[in-house]
Structure formats: structure tokens, C-alpha cells
Structure 1
Amino acid sequence: MSLLRPFAASLLAVALAACGDAHAPVASAGQPGTPHRGGVLKVALDGDPQCIDPQQAGNNTALNVGRQLVDSLTDQDPATGAIEPWLADRWEVSADARHFTFHLRPGVTFSDGTAVDAAAVKANLQGIVELGARAILGSTYLAGLAGIDTPDAHTVVVRFAQPNAQFLQATSTMSLGLLAARTLATPPAQRCQGELVGSGPFTLKSFVHNQVVSLARRDDYRWPSALAAHTDQAWLEGIDFLIIPESGVRLGSLLSGQIDVNTSVAPQDEAALQSQGLPILSRANPGVVFILAPNESTPLFSDRRVRQALNKAIDRQQFKPILSQHQQVASALLASSTPLYRDFSALLAHDPQGAGRLLDEAGWVPGSDGIRVKDGQRLSFKLDYWQSVPILELVQQQLRQVGIELRLNKTTLSQTTALQASGDYSVRFLNLTRADPDVLRTVFQAPGYNVSVRQPGQIDQLLADSAATLDASKRQALVDQASQQLIEGGHAIALIELATVLAQGKQVHGLHYEASSRLQFFDTWVQP
């Protein structure tokens, strides 16, 4: 699994957001009336998608685009977490969570006219395994795949060597979304740039990096998720995703009517939007919250006491004034919108005196400028990051108060990726969105992605056991134990929940988030 490391930044790329009812459509001024067919929706993204192949994509901008191009075997209700039919109209899971049988709905085709049948599903799942580290998310969902059987054209049996309780939820993600055979035969790099054929409600017209991704409606689409509000083709004629990195430009473009939707609202812009009566929709992203992950292979962070001191030195309540009004400070490693979430805020309490005692025990004593020293070395480390998150400066100040120097280096996604791939770093800043607690295993298990470069131990057995049981109460207990040990060991420092906050024009209706807080435009329409 070490092959995943060079692609770490893609896995962990994020967009800010917040909490709310994800399945409900965006609130609109006045009565929405009867849905209107037609119109091209102009949607602002805050960054370039880089790779729009859903099976390879890792950042939110790419996944928001990719969700419109591909369908999944199942869907997940964002309000309840329940798995609902999509391309599979029913399924069975063996008692040991090793065999998953899907029964496909008939008559579904890719946009090139080829059938979405059992052979296509098998080819896609096998293809994701073959992509390896390029399928940064999907490959982890399929770990331990033993075989795929196709007893008839509409039945697929997926077999795993070990119990894999998370797999049913994984089939609802776009990372396991289905692509036509001609796309699977295309080199991965070309797929990233837009050589894609899916079965979704929209098709790709064009992709110009750092400018626009244009989609067109597929007129013969008739197989939406069971969660959709209507059953035939999408209401919109098309979607133009415009790349607008500057938050102020996105705000001005929405206020002036040049765009219809701003997918990433900056906290400082919320008041202006509210004063104009423009609807805002927010939802807490499920999954692992924003964390600092110390590199435990370094001499500094191999010491448990230093890692624990980081956690105790941080006052998360001080983050609130600079966060979006929709956003929350972390109360666990899992976000509050994640199934099986449990509040561990007591383990995240601000305790600067406790942090000082731990550092004293570890041999770090205050230096002349307040930064602690040991054997002539300063207690200082650098964080390279690319995200626009103002809390990091506050974290820097709080750590300094206990004698820790955090040096912040704002850089680019590609530079951060290269640095992390080299292993030459002290700490990482990241999150990962997924509406299943197995996201902890994806991020922390050793051997595996093991973001903290932690030595294998009891945590890994807890994570493996949680993936092996379908019993919700047993899984809850295992997830809780793993979460507690990760926090208490200082293996991850929870900071804030990721949230998605968007704003739209009053003419836009029916836009909503799916379970992983990505956007679903199938039911969206524009009032003429």
C-alpha cells in the first residue's frame, strides 16, 4: 500500500463546507413551482479539477464534476445513511461480509450505446484494482478482492478473501462509478483529461484546464437513483463548471448574475450573500476531519509525549470566530455527520499546563526566546500545505505559547505532493471525506496508507475487526476504541470539521448534496 503515498495530496484535497440536511434541495426564495427543462447552469469551482476521471479523482472539484458523468451500483441517503438502489435494484450480502451479490436493472447503457451489464461491472472493478495507486480511493475499497463472478448478464457476485463490511457503502461512491469499455482501455492519463464515457445523466463536452469543464445533458437517460425526485432525463440542458480561484471574484460573479452557483463560499462573504437574500446550503462533510498528522518516523515525533503535547496545546474553541457560521470545531477524528460518530471532545480539551509537563518529561526545556530546546536543538518543525485555512496561523500561535515553533509554508498542491512522496516532512495537514467510519482504516491503518507513519499495533487490529463485522453495535465499539487510541497516542491531532458551503441564485432549484457532501445536479433546474 506504500504506493499510495505519491498521490497523497489528491486523496486529501478538500473544499470548505458545513452542516445541514443534505438530501433536501437548496432553499429558494418563494415557491419553486413546476420544474423547467432547459438552460445551462454556470457553476463556479474554486480550483482546477486536475483529473476528472471519477475512478482516479481525489479532490472535491473533480468529484463534483465526476458525479454527473457516472452512475454507481447503489446510492446512500445523506439523511439516514441507508444504502438505496441505483444501477443495482437489489443485492444480498453474505453473513460473513465476504460475498456481495448485485442484481442489475435492465436497459441501462453507457453514452456510447454499450450495455451496463454484469461484464461491464466486472471489468470496472477489475480495472480499478489494476489502476492501483492511481485509483487512490477505489483501490482501498477493493483491497482483498478474491474474484468476481457473472452467472448471468444482470447478476454480479463480488468475492473478498476477508470480511469487507464497508464494501456495500463503497459501491455508492463515484470512486467505484462505472465507465464504458472504451474508457477502461484508454491510458489513465488520457482519462484524467476527459476521454470518458459513463452512464450518467450528463456527458463531457470539453475540459480546458484552469478555465472550464462543460457538460451536456444525455437525452435518453432513464435510470436515476431511487433517491432522485424524477425519473427521466435531467432538467438542465448542460452545466459549465467555471474555474474561479478568487473568493471575491466568485462572490461578485454570483451577485451580478454571471454565475448561478458558487460551490465554495468564503466565511467573510456570507454576510453579503445573506444581505441580498441569496440562498446558502451547507453540510458537514463526513469522514476524517482536518487533522495534523505527525510523521512518527522522525526523531521528534517518535516521542509519544511530544505528539500528546501538540493535542493539549491547541485551544479549538478559539477557532470559532474565524470559521464559517456553518462550520464546527472537531469533537473527534470522525466528523459529526459520519455514521457511528462518537463525541471525544473530552480528549481534545485545551490543557497548556499538561502540554508543558509532557514536554518537560521529554527533556525539552524553555530557551531564551521561549522556544524549547533539547541537546542544542530547537523544538521546531515545518508544515508545508496548500489549502486556504486561516486556523493554521492560530495553531501556530497556540503552540508557541507552550514553547513549540511551527513554521508554516504555504505552497502548491503539486509541490506538497512531491514533498510528501519523498518522505521528507515533519507533519501533514489533511482530511478525507467518506460517509462510512471505515475511512479511519483508509487513513490510519499500518501497513496501509498510514498517514502518521505509525508502527503497527493494536489500533490496526481494531480497524481490521471493524471492517469484518456487519453487527452495528460491535462495529461501533471497535471504531470507538480505535478512535480513542489514535487520539490518546497523539497519532492525529483533530482540528476542525470540513464543511461545504455553497450559495446560489434565487432562480436555481433542486440542488442538493449527496451523502459524501458532493453535489448532485440531476434534479436541479433554473426558473426562466
Structure 2
Amino acid sequence: MSDTPPDLPADKPTNPRRRAVLAAGAAVGVGAVAYGFWRTSSSTGQAATQGAAGVQGAQGGTLVVGSYQEPTVYDPNHQYSWETYRIDRHIYESLVAEDLSKPASAGPPPLIPALAQSWEVSDDATTFTFHLRPGVKFHDGTDFDAHAVEFNVRRFSDPGFEFYDVKANAFMKAVYGDLKSFEVLNDQTVRYTFKHPFRDFLRMLPQGNYVSGIFSPQALKQYGQDGLAEHATGTGPFRLVQRVHGEKTELARNDQYWGGRAPLERIVFRPITDDATRLAALQAGEIDILTRTPPDAVDTLTGGGYAVPESAQAGLLYLGWNFRNRFAQQLPVRQAIIQAIDREGLAKTLFKGHALAAYSILNPGNAAFDANQRDYAYDPEAARKRLADAGFKDGDIRFTIATDEANQPSIEWIQRDLAKVGIHVDILSQEWLTYTSNLPKLAPEVALTSMEWGFVTPLWARIVYQGYVVTRGGGDLLGPELKAAIDTASHEVDEAKAITAWKHANGLLQQQAATVPLVSFTRYFAVSPKVKGFNVPAQNWYDLARVSLST
């Protein structure tokens, strides 16, 4: 993907061959969900939506969610972290949504209409035409239409635009860096054209990073680039009431929501970073849904009538290298470190069996995941020999692993494992916002950093390559073959060929020990018995617009 701003405007494509895709209410089979939009449907009628029309249960009430991290900012083009997106996806909507009512066992959530009622994709997957939903209003009463979409896109793609924002451009480049042109065809129709085939574009629209949620242009004009986050204004089923940093975010139902009124009147998200405090709040009835359930509490909670749904999520816990560290630059060291970590023991002991050992950066919920693709197996003796063959003695290798506080116990486990093969690890642990703000400026003594992330689309491998290899000094180090494999997979139009290409690229990532996968969590949320309609999909977030509280 290009590091330069896209060329806007550009000439219209000449008579692109287009294929009708997913009209309102279309059903998409699990086998096609990874890229989904090649399915054709002529069905019409009421679209499946993120809204609450038809939801059964008591109306009203306030749901309280105990989050394990402080959110970042409620600006779709500036934000990151799942705990942020779990909140602001109820405020902002994208052109396309995911049907989060499907259980995790059903696989990646099908793509469904949201602010776009239908769309067409050219046969070469470079041109995407969206037909927008009429009559939709932003929370400030202004109209959602093609010109609002144009304003949003130009904010992060057009340096000549009055409201262009450099920060938004940096955040959104992973999705839109290859954008050739954006066109308003009429008040209800827009078209995106990319320089290369971009089969994954539709799946990327409703994701929790590089967020394509549509905000009110009037809100940005009124409050400014940084002020939008404090006055988040979208079209979603809930609107922002207030955010008190370190204490809560409060949302109120949008009674004019195009998809129907949600059962809940209000939702309050409370950041509670300490596991024991968050658990006690659930058991005391102070919160209704708990995020990142402490593994040793699962049996107690299920025995007490709480639901702790089992799911293979789209994410995983892993370590990324800082290739500017002198030890991280050496392949035998990277390989030996992976061999020295007992990931099965980590999953079974520290996570009490409520996690799966990960041997690939492609998580189990990913469309290209192959359980037979594994990196270097746990073998501390082989790790010792590999280090000795590379000329290292016990104590020669010393570096720091940086982590956020939530993942410190896992890093302490790794610290002990690496000590057994003669590697000394120091740990730098910080609260989430401080930790993530320091990631772009890693000190040379930091060799590894922790992260909890992942996607259902195989494009995740490219995100990892760009974000954890290229930007950290490893692009040339890992060689041109890997880059070429990533580019080939990214631009492949045929689904079967794309999956094969992504597996090949993943194999090269594994061979180069480009990342250190650790575990995938299987028991992430805990839910009070009074919560009705809460579903954990095969995704890293949920839909609270369908949830109600029993009386």
C-alpha cells in the first residue's frame, strides 16, 4: 500500500463491469463470508440491521459494562482499541455492517447493509458503488447523504480539502492508502475506486481499527478536528451523553434511529482495569457485562448463574518485534525465543484452559487459518542449541519486553521461560494509554511488545507485516520474497487463490519468526443473568442494540 496520499480527484472509470451484490436482506453463506461480496442476491425488503426492530424483552433500563481498558477517543478516524470500538460502534455506523447476532460457532459474521442499502463491486475488485439508505439523520438532526460520505472520505484522503486532517490520514492509510478516486454519483450514490484489486474492502468497512464510521460533517465543523471525539455525532442506535475520563462513558437511546428503537434506554461503560475489582463489581450487581473475564473466575461465575460464553474470537495475544533491537535482527535468536516459550503451558496454567495456544498470527477465526500451519514447536533444548550455534552463551542476550498492565502476567511467564535458555528479560509494564502512546517510539533495548489484536479477514497478515515488520525496521531484513507474497495475496481477486496465497505468505512469516503468537482467548465476556439477548459472535465486539434487561 502506498505511503503517499491518494490522487484525488481522478477520472471516472470507463464502463466498469459490475456485479450486483448483497441487496437488503441477503443471506451470505459461511464459506463466502471471508470476502462475502461475490455472492449475488436479488432479494428485497427490510434489511437485516444492527438495530433492534423485532427484539423481544423489557423496554428501558440502563445496562452497565465493565471494560478492562480506558477507551482512547471517540473519533472514528483517530481511535484504536477494541474497548473503544465496542462503545463507539453504537454511535457511528459504516456503509456496511456485520451481523453480530450470529453465534461464534457460525464463523465470521456475514456482511449486511447498514448506511448503504446495497452495493456493486467490479469484477476486478477495484470499483465499489454504494446505494445509500434514504432518510437517515445524524444525532444532531442533519442529513446523512452522499455529500456527508464525501466529507468523511476527503478528511483523511484529500490534502487539498479544507478539513483534511494529517492524523486521520495516518490512521486510515491501511485501508485507503491505495484509493485512486472517490465520486458522488448523486445524492444517494457514491463510488470508491482503488489502484489495485481490494477484495477485502467491504470486510474492512465495519472493523474496529481504521474505522470507517460516518460522522456528522456539521459536528466536525462546529467542534474541530480534536473536538469531534468529545462530541461524537453519528447515526447509530445510541448517542453520546457524556464521557468522564477514567470514570465512565454514557450513551442514550436514539429514538429516531432508522433501524428501530433499541430496548435499552441507556448504556454506561465503566473502565475498571483491575481484574479483582471488575469481578467484584459484577458479583455485586454494579455492572452487567464484564470484559476479559479473569480465567480463575470462570467456574465460580458459571456456578453462580452467570453466563461466560465460549467462543473462538477473531483476535489473539501475541508479541511483535522491534527490529531495531540488535537481538531481534538475528533470525536464530527470534527462532530460539519462539522455541523457548511453552504456549500450551501458558494456555492451560495461567489461563486455566480458557485459551488456546497460538502457533500462527492468523487467528482461529480467520478465513485463511490452517491448524496445520505452525511455527517453531516448544523445545527449550533445541532453543539452547540454536543460540549456542549462533555464538551466544548464557547471559549474552538481554532485552526488554514492553507490555500493558493487563498482559503483564503473560510476559512474566515468558520471562521465566526465556531465563531457562539463558536469556535475560526485563519487563516494562504501563497502563494502556501510556503504553500505546509509546509504541511508535520504542527504545533500542526493547525487543518485543505485547498486543491483543486480530481480524477475520486474511488481510490481517498484511496489517501485521506493515505494522509490526516494515514500520519497525524489518522490511529489508525479512527480504523481498515476503513482501512480494503479501502483495500478491492482497491483490488476488479469486477467493480460493487468495486463501492459498495468504497461506503461502503466512508460511514465510512463520519461517522468518516475524511475530510471536501466544494464545487465543475462549472465555472473554461474563454476563449477568438479567441480561437478555447478548451474543458473542466470532468477532472482537458485540451489538448491544439488541440487548434488554429483565425486570
Q: Same fold (TM over 0.5)?
A: yes
In 1, Cα distance between equivalents of 2:258 and 2:306: 32
Q: Superposed, which structure 2 residues align to 1:158-197 within 5 Å?
A: 158-173=192-207, 175-185=211-221, 186-192=223-229, 194-197=230-233
Pick aligned residue for 2:287 from 256, 259, 263: 259
TM superposition shift of 1:55 = 2.7
The farther-off stretch of 430-439 and 129-138 is 129-138
Are residue 211 (structure 1) and residue 211 (structure 2) matched? Answer: no
Change in CA separation of 1:286 and 1:137 when aligned onto 2, cut-off 3 Å: farther
- Give yes or no for contact 2:368–2:458 (8 Å, CA) kept in 1: yes
Are residue 458 (structure 1) and residue 481 (structure 2) matched? Answer: yes
- What is residue 327 of structure 2 aligned with on the other side? 300
The farther-off stretch of 167-176 and 58-67 is 167-176
Question: SS at the partner of 1:92?
Answer: strand
Q: Superposed, which structure 2 residues align to 1:294-443 within 5 Å?
A: 294-319=321-346, 320-344=348-372, 346-366=374-394, 371=395, 378-389=396-407, 390-417=409-436, 419-424=438-443, 425-443=446-464
In 2, Cα distance between equivalents of 1:331 and 1:421: 26
In 2, Cα distance between equivalents of 1:329 and 1:98: 37
The farther-off stretch of 471-480 and 445-454 is 445-454
- What is residue 118 of structure 1 aligned with on the other side? 146
The farther-off stretch of 195-204 and 314-323 is 314-323
- What is residue 149 of structure 1 aligned with on the other side? 183
In 1, Cα distance between equivalents of 2:510 and 2:167: 27
TM superposition shift of 1:141 = 1.0
In 2, Cα distance between equivalents of 1:404 and 1:179: 49
Change in CA separation of 1:3 and 1:211 when aligned onto 2, cut-off 3 Å: farther
Change in CA separation of 1:510 and 1:91 when aligned onto 2, cut-off 3 Å: same
- Give yes or no for contact 1:105–1:154 (8 Å, CA) kept in 2: yes
Question: SS at the partner of 1:388?
Answer: helix
Paired letter, 1:493: V
TM superposition shift of 1:158 = 0.4
Cα deviation 1:444-482 (Å, max 9, x = unaligned) = 138985456332521112111212122111111111111
Question: SS at the partner of 1:301?
Answer: coil
- Give yes or no for contact 2:93–2:213 (8 Å, CA) kept in 1: yes
Pick aligned residue for 1:510 from 533, 536, 542: 533
- Give yes or no for contact 2:373–2:507 (8 Å, CA) kept in 1: no
In 1, Cα distance between equivalents of 2:117 and 2:271: 36
- What is residue 375 of structure 1 aligned with on the other side? none
TM superposition shift of 1:136 = 6.0
TM superposition shift of 1:519 = 2.1
In 1, Cα distance between equivalents of 2:307 and 2:436: 36
Are residue 524 (structure 1) and residue 543 (structure 2) matched? Answer: no
Are residue 198 (structure 1) and residue 217 (structure 2) matched? Answer: no
Paired letter, 2:227: Q
In 2, Cα distance between equivalents of 1:394 and 1:2: 39
Question: SS at the partner of 1:497?
Answer: strand
Question: SS at the partner of 1:162?
Answer: coil
Change in CA separation of 1:356 and 1:167 when aligned onto 2, cut-off 3 Å: same
- Give yes or no for contact 1:142–1:167 (8 Å, CA) kept in 2: no
TM superposition shift of 1:313 = 1.4
TM superposition shift of 1:182 = 1.8
* TM-score, length of structure 1 as denominator length: 0.85
Paired letter, 2:511: E
In 2, Cα distance between equivalents of 1:134 and 1:127: 7
In 1, Cα distance between equivalents of 2:297 and 2:166: 40
In 2, Cα distance between equivalents of 1:362 and 1:448: 23
Paired letter, 2:235: S
In 1, Cα distance between equivalents of 2:170 and 2:88: 15
Change in CA separation of 1:274 and 1:448 when aligned onto 2, cut-off 3 Å: closer
Change in CA separation of 1:489 and 1:403 when aligned onto 2, cut-off 3 Å: same
Are residue 92 (structure 1) and residue 120 (structure 2) matched? Answer: yes
In 1, Cα distance between equivalents of 2:66 and 2:518: 27
- What is residue 7 of structure 2 aligned with on the other side? none
TM superposition shift of 1:264 = 2.6
Pick aligned residue for 1:45 from 46, 67, 74: 67
- What is residue 290 of structure 1 aligned with on the other side? 317
TM superposition shift of 1:282 = 4.2
TM superposition shift of 1:423 = 3.6
In 1, Cα distance between equivalents of 2:411 and 2:442: 22
TM superposition shift of 1:278 = 1.0
Identity of aligned residues (%): 26
In 2, Cα distance between equivalents of 1:241 and 1:272: 24
- What is residue 222 of structure 1 aligned with on the other side? 258
Paired letter, 1:158: Y
Pick aligned residue for 1:445 from 466, 485, 492: 466
The farther-off stretch of 203-212 and 132-141 is 132-141
In 2, Cα distance between equivalents of 1:198 and 1:167: 21
- Give yes or no for contact 1:69–1:201 (8 Å, CA) kept in 2: yes
Paired letter, 2:217: A
In 2, Cα distance between equivalents of 1:100 and 1:200: 23
- What is residue 67 of structure 1 aligned with on the other side? 89
Question: SS at the partner of 2:249?
Answer: strand
Are residue 467 (structure 1) and residue 495 (structure 2) matched? Answer: no
Cα deviation 1:232-291 (Å, max 9, x = unaligned) = 11110111112222222222222222222212311122222122111123433315x322
In 2, Cα distance between equivalents of 1:245 and 1:448: 30
- Give yes or no for contact 2:404–2:450 (8 Å, CA) kept in 1: no
- In structure 1, the gaps of 5 or more residues are 5-32, 224-231, 372-377
Pick aligned residue for 1:56 from 73, 78, 81: 78
Change in CA separation of 1:418 and 1:151 when aligned onto 2, cut-off 3 Å: closer
Q: RMSD in angstroms over aligned alpha carbons? A: 2.4
In 2, Cα distance between equivalents of 1:63 and 1:348: 34
- In structure 2, the gaps of 5 or more residues are 5-54, 101-105, 158-163
Paired letter, 2:383: A
* TM-score, length of structure 2 as denominator length: 0.82
- Give yes or no for contact 2:509–2:515 (8 Å, CA) kept in 1: yes
Q: Does 1 or 2 have the higher relative contact order (CA < 8 Å, sep 6+)?
A: 1
Cα deviation 1:141-165 (Å, max 9, x = unaligned) = 1111111111111111101122222
In 2, Cα distance between equivalents of 1:364 and 1:40: 59
Change in CA separation of 1:260 and 1:423 when aligned onto 2, cut-off 3 Å: closer
Question: SS at the partner of 2:525?
Answer: strand
In 2, Cα distance between equivalents of 1:273 and 1:236: 24
Cα deviation 1:58-113 (Å, max 9, x = unaligned) = 11221111111011211224634332212212111112211111111211111122
- Give yes or no for contact 2:311–2:537 (8 Å, CA) kept in 1: no
- What is residue 17 of structure 1 aligned with on the other side? none
Are residue 273 (structure 1) and residue 293 (structure 2) matched? Answer: no
